Structure 1
């Protein structure tokens, strides 16, 4: 399954995976407005065997097959142990 990855220029460390290149109409209007302009990063071939750095490839593929997009949010801030 091919996908196209875009980086939000408004939200740090936020990426959108789309099943079609430049198919921004797949994004719900409130999501698109919140992300602002999107910058193309890379085209990927996804398969169940492929490893992604921060996402479960099966979840990404399911979202692309369903609504047509997957939103990758920044990781939660790490909690520091001050002991």
Structure 2
């Protein structure tokens, strides 16, 4: 069976909750595979992930480059400053 976007978000968050950086990075890489599915509601989820799991520069860099970057690339014209 294929994993859908909702399941991918749950799997990724579960990996982000792990103590080992490698597992957190796996969560980042996994959700990046679903970047075509990112939608405007995804920003709320990503914001909560940053608040809860972004505790060191390595994770923050990986998350911003691999998740937030593609999100902004997709929605940049719609984001108001």
TM-score under structure 2 length normalisation: 0.24
**Higher gyration radius (CA):** 1
Q: Which has the higher contact order (CA 8 A, sep 6+)?
A: 1
Per residue, is there more helix in 1 or in 2?
2
TM-score under structure 1 length normalisation: 0.24
